Structure 1
Amino acid sequence: MLTCINDTMFPETGKSVVRLLRRLGVDVDFPTAQTCCGQPMINTGYLDEAIPVVRQFVSAFEGYDAIVTPSGSCVGSARHQHDMVARRSGDARLVEAVARTGPRTYELSEFLVDVLGVEDVGAYFPHKVTYHPTCHSLRLLGVGDRPTRLLRAVKGLRLADLPAAEECCGFGGTFALKNAETSVAMGADKVRHARETGAEVLVASDNSCLLHMGGILSRQRSGMRVMHLAEILAQTEDA
């Protein structure tokens, strides 16, 4: 599952997921019927409007062994919000379908570590990086140290601990629009901590958060770039 923001703004992340999984021997399919997971509507209270979106999700992904996506927030929606929307619809078949797709939806690091049982994916990235654990992956999914375990196994990579890592970056979807000044202040704190590490790259597992932090870093002319975890794990010495 590519996700809306990746499809629109960060297609390289989705391509990296496909390259990585295929390198690890996974039979990867990309159902073109996929659309949004419904999270933006659900988070803002438009539950009835989310019903057809959830229907489309289960229709597009029904029958797969696993649904893998490079976004903790979208996985959180599939696992924890889709059931609420399905029950609101009053459609028992939709409730049953969601009960099948939800547990089979994985954030990328979960799928690699828990399902495939790998931490060293054969990646090569000779740079100093620091990792920001995004709120949904950290709090809603509980991915824990899976992303950092994957990063520490990357050849040539030097991982610097991020001060106050568990603090929110300030994006929060529509929060950034409705509370712009607070959002920017939180983001400024986050990138200040990132710059303190001396890392070249700020890494996260959600491009929405990276969009927010990357914009601040760019305006500061910091020289620090942002990259999704998938893009780093997809790189090899031969690339």
Structure 2
Amino acid sequence: MTEAPSPTSKAAGRRQPHLPLIMMYHSVGTHQHDPNNLVVTPERFEEQMATLKRRGLRGVSVAELLAARAAGSARGLVGLTFDDGYTDVIENALPVLQRFGFSATSYVLAGRIGGANEWDEGTPWPLVDEAGIRRWADAGFEVGSHGTMHVALEGARPEVLRAEIADSRERLSDLLGKPVGGYCYAYGSMDAAARSAVAEAGYEHACAIISRQSLGPQALPRIYVGQAHTSKHILKMLYTYRLHRRISGRHAL
């Protein structure tokens, strides 16, 4: 089946506006053991979303953000992403996002649906099951792939790249009944081979972590958001990111 060209491919060859900020979340809940600072409480998350709303900004999925950017209408938008697919994102973040009129992207692990984050130390946290994935998608939000088993891809063998990238897309597309367009690198780990594999698998875009390099739609930069980020920090983050984009003059992300 031939898929429609992505918004980013349509805009190829044109100088595009700056890529708006994409925020990177993980868990939205309460966990006693959080050595990697991945948890944001529901109260803090709502405070952060309210800050965006007061500034006249709207949180959107990566797919919506890139489509708006290609159309020249991304002003006032902020990308919202959630890595790993924790159950508490469906329970706690989804209602808040809906209340504010926002959307977001959830990057889930095709091989750990209904499982737990066994790659991390400490007490495992539950991961979303098929019903939760469908609930997110039925709300009109984007579901993307975070790979199959949460494996670092920098220097990975071809068979690992295939399993984590192409196979995960196929499994999630079958579950949702439509092609999955977005990918997210576990640990932010990737190299040229991984980016090429993402493009060859048919993904329209992929998210990394903040980078000083312009690596194109297969490695979109994001900024981590955690429990320590109050309204004041969010405002500073927005200002600093815009200033950085303006000074760097990078348009081809």
Whether TM-score is above 0.5 comes out as: no
* Greater strand content: 2
Scaled by the length of structure 2, the TM-score of the pair is 0.32
Scaled by the length of structure 1, the TM-score of the pair is 0.33
* Greater helix content: 1
| Higher Cα Rg, which structure | 1
